[in-house]
Structure 1
Amino acid sequence: MMVIGERVNAKIGDFAAVSMELKTKNQIYSAMVIYGLLTYNNGQVFIPNKELMLKYDELLFRES
């Protein structure tokens, strides 16, 4: 959904960026927000810019 510009509902809480315990989608979203790969606003996460959106699209739809 995010690759086509949609926002996704997420519960972002206190999360240590160094934690390797990424077991839920909300923990993964939290880590991606911390590292700048997603933006969080009003309970939703989304891809912050066109360049990242194109890169996600490329990675997700690679045929290999």
Structure 2
Amino acid sequence: MTTRVRMAIMSHLSDAQQMMKYDAELANLHINFAKALLIKYDNIDADVTYSELNDLWTKEVANN
């Protein structure tokens, strides 16, 4: 399955907003992941697979 990079970014930023009250570290991971997507993809309207997003998330979490 695929989604647009734009939707993945918005989803992670929304997750970060929800997490701010309860877990600032996790909220920061979501924000950093959204930034990583912006750096990786020149075109945020491009399709990306959920598998690729999961791999990128795992890599981002491992780097923090």
Q: TM-score, normalised by structure 2?
A: 0.31
Larger radius of gyration: 1
Q: TM-score, normalised by structure 1?
A: 0.31
Of the two structures, which has the highest relative contact order with CA contacts closer than 8 Å and spacing of 6 or more? Answer: 2
